[in-house]
Chain A
């Protein structure tokens, strides 16, 4: 077997592992508040064909438009028939795509570096966890890696095709999330820094037609999406206006404000209560080795020094920027963590190639094997055992598993109400305690949401009322004679109360199947 065939065979195994981790049991975790937000926004596009970019919420349009083919295949244009698996399949497949895109880095990185980067991207717990999340981050990482890979290909093989491909990926990065500004800033800064170390005779000239191809595809791909395919040209301007909103949000982080060390601490070592220890320290250590490799001439003869340094600077600059911004949520790690993962792949290859003695090489292989296995086990645990458990560091404001009991109860009760799924449901909660109800109640045609009980009109005849605990005090006096109350967990420390009209409850008790 040739070296090339062996490489592709092994890489295929890595892709299979990435696919398995990302696509199995996608319905296991209840929809997160943010996922439900995105899903309901997508529902409008799916059913009504309408989408308008909102500069205040939801981020860029790429997620919605790229979800369409997945939804069409699984449920046609019916939002009610859509399920979590279909929606989460979108980031899951793009997450596998990130691993595949690494193949385009050949020449910039050696085969062994690409292989190890692929393994680490495939099994990293934080990568896997958020690749199964219906939010924009995975797409951002996919298009970012695409932009890096195609620009590298352009550097190697200067054709207008690679220039246009780079433009496309950059346009899609912009059309995915407003934080693309940080990503672009980091990319430019890293390129300039890497060029400082490059010999001047290695530089190539500027080709105007290629630049125009790059710019044209970047503008076309992003503007098409922001303008909803020219149905809302204002969306293009709004995409720029949105930067102000997100700058303000980043500075005034409120309850998402954390110290600069938040991300690195979480990656290095986390333990909550009596839960297990979580650590991706192996990747961080290997990334440090990758930093050394990037600045040692001839450390990896098949990797290009410019590319190695570029990745190294990208990892450092983007990690620093994301860490310095007060607003932090764990999924925001992904755009800089992919740089760390690539650097760690470089460090792994460097370690193996620089050790000359067989015994040391064998020892490194064993340590790396155990380390990769440990990462894989953590990924398994994070996604299939602790998927909604607050003892998992990547579980952030996650909907509790108990919330599904509320959904099942409502589904069960609907069977005994004469209006079935047209039964009136009144939701009286704070805005952030209403989600993910709109996703789970998408099959019910008469659901109203209010923040105050007084605004919701007569309560006594409503078959089901869902309320926040704080909103319930005003309701008790009105409902204690007419409704039966049950508590359900929404998130840690946040409970919802389901008030069931007594005649419906009695009917349910009388007729429900006995277990």
Chain B
């Protein structure tokens, strides 16, 4: 009995090994490493040199209507602005809320490299319904790590709420953002604060695709009075 069981075991083991081996062979025969023949790049002549500003839209369609509660008003015009760079490279920090949105020279403020911010004091708490940002729209470029936060605290230590963040790799250290990067256009970037209540609005950036500087042409904040 034991002998038969032993022999059966041996035969079974040999069969399993044979099948496994055959299986591997089948696998070898049926599959192989796919040798991809990837196309090579085409050789072409010197590309166009672009030096002049381009005010045309590069991609996308015009922004559709954006609905806000009745009575929503612009809140930021001529309101006090502060920033991380107290001595801008170009322009004045007041340009951020002066109502001028032209893309030409002389209408934007330029801050130095790395993470920089501007902060608008609305001088009272409001329910915020729209924030429009123009960093620099004379050229197709993308600003990195655009983060918009609001707060009742001028130092942004407490009560900080982030309403836009496209710092997807957390290079600013303010948390990973899920919003998308976007190309600057003359329409500006519309951010929906969803009626959040705040007095201060702070906008961060960290250079752009054309250079390492940070720019602001204009920031507009829209909202309604807070009844509290």
Contact = CB atoms under 8 A, between A and B. Distances in A.
A481 interface: no
Most chain A CB inside 10 Å of its own CB: which residue of B41, B43, B176, B181: B41
A434 B171 CA distance: 27
A487 B181 contact: yes
A485 B208 CA distance: 15
A211 interface: no
B219 interface: no
B42 A434 contact: yes
B227 interface: no
Interface stretch (B14-22, B45-53, B94-102): B45-53
A450 B37 CA distance: 12
Contacts of A449: 38-42
Contact of A493 (B42, B54, B181, B208): B54
Contacts of B39: 448-450
B44 A469 contact: no
Contacts of B171: 515
A485 B139 CA distance: 20
Nearest to B51: A390
Nearest to A496: B209
Contact of A397 (B48, B54, B58, B209): B48
B51 A272 contact: yes
A202 B209 CA distance: 63
A132 to B, nearest CB: 17
Interface residues of A, number: 56
Interface in A420-434: 424, 427, 431-434
Interface in A1-42: 33-34, 37, 40-41
Interface string A450-489: 1100000000000000000110110000000000111111
Contact of A484 (B48, B49, B168, B183): B168
Given A273-B105, A492-B50, A492-B139, A485 B44 contact: no
A491 B211 CA distance: 11
Given A427-B41, A446-B36, A509-B176, A397 B105 contact: no
Interface of B: 36, 38-51, 54, 58-59, 90, 105, 139-142, 168-171, 176, 180-181, 183, 208-212
Given A473-B59, A487-B181, 15 more contacts: A57-B44, A329-B46, A396-B49, A397-B47, A400-B210, A401-B211, A402-B211, A487-B142, A487-B183, A494-B50, A495-B141, A495-B209, A509-B170, A512-B169, A515-B171
Interface of A: 33-34, 37, 40-41, 54, 57-58, 249, 255-256, 272-274, 329, 389-390, 396-397, 400-402, 424, 427, 431-435, 437-438, 446-451, 469-470, 472-473, 484-489, 491-495, 508-509, 512, 515
